Amino acid sequence: MTTTPAVTRTEPLKAKSRPGDRWFSGAALFAGSMILVTLAAVAIFLIVQSLPALFATNADASILPADFWSYVGPLVFGTVWAAALALIMAVPLSIGVALFISHYAPRRLAQALGYIVDLLAAVPSVVFGLWGIGVLAPAVQPVYSWLVDNAGWFPLFAGPVSSTGRTIFTAAIVLAVMVTPIITAICREIFLQTPNLHEEAALALGSTRWEMVRMAVFPFARSGIVSASMLGLGRALGETMAVAMVLSVSGGVTFALLTPDNPNTIAANIALSFPEAYGLNVNVLIATGLVLFVVTFAVNALARYIVSRRKEFSGAN
């Protein structure tokens, strides 16, 4: 009679813990935690400093026309309106430039254009503001006059026309120029990561280069394009100096793009008003910063939701 040997269970192998691994793990955990701590500290500061202003009136703070919400409402509109206009102009241009660099341009030209795009992303915003007020605004003012005269029936081009060209549309053009390099750089890297097998398969089936891009590159890069666009939108929402220099503000809420009656943005209003603010007026400006913080956070959260849904949909297919 033979007996089978007993099967012994072996413990799973564990990697040796070295001091360097422990130090690196702790440093990485500390760095990741500091992001949350910093975000929480900023949020707590804004909330605490904003509480006295949320229910203030004109009797409490001279900067308020009536109450806080009537003050911040036009600023929120101007911020979102200018950023949305900039994104409408910047996203198609950025995708086109990134696609040209990654799939159409010769290698040497693509490298040169890539360097130029990266260089534009590093230009300070005050330089774009000087360009907008000194070059762009005088150049587009005759175009604005022609649009008001010939297309004034359309609400966006309703008159009267601005005599300086420093309108919300000019500010949006400057913002579009500023965010285009950022969106282009990210889209370019996403396009270059498209699997070669997908592109070669599309070409082998007889597709033209554009059909290959439409069937292979764009579906693969869709979530990346959304992420790049939201990153550019976040930059446009928080831009300060360029908008403050270019935009001629009169207050109020209007969708007209070419008139001298322009809404202001939150960031530009804080930059222009904070040096002369005192007392509760400072809290009012900080409260508008809290509103901008919430808007930016909501935009980023929406972008993360869209990207995650895209990934889940792609994985399901």
- Distance between CA atoms of residues 185 and 97, nearest Å: 9
Tokens describing residue 28:
């990485």
- Residue closest to 44 by CA, chosen among 298, 303, 286: 286
Phi, psi of 282 (to 5 degrees): -65, -40
- Residue labelled with tokens 């400093």: 49
Contacts of 167 (CB under 8 A, 6+ apart): 144, 247, 248, 257, 258, 259, 260, 262
Residue 89's pLDDT is what? Answer: 92
- Residue closest to 220 by CA, chosen among 129, 103, 131: 103
- Distance between CA atoms of residues 30 and 302, nearest Å: 27
Ranges of residues in the chain whose predicted pLDDT is under 50 = none
Contacts of 131 (CB under 8 A, 6+ apart): 174
**Superfamily in which the 68-314 domain is placed by CATH:** MetI-like (1.10.3720.10)
Percent of the chain having pLDDT more than 90? 11
Q: Give Cα separations from 68 to 47, 230, 240, 285 (angstroms).
A: 15, 28, 21, 10
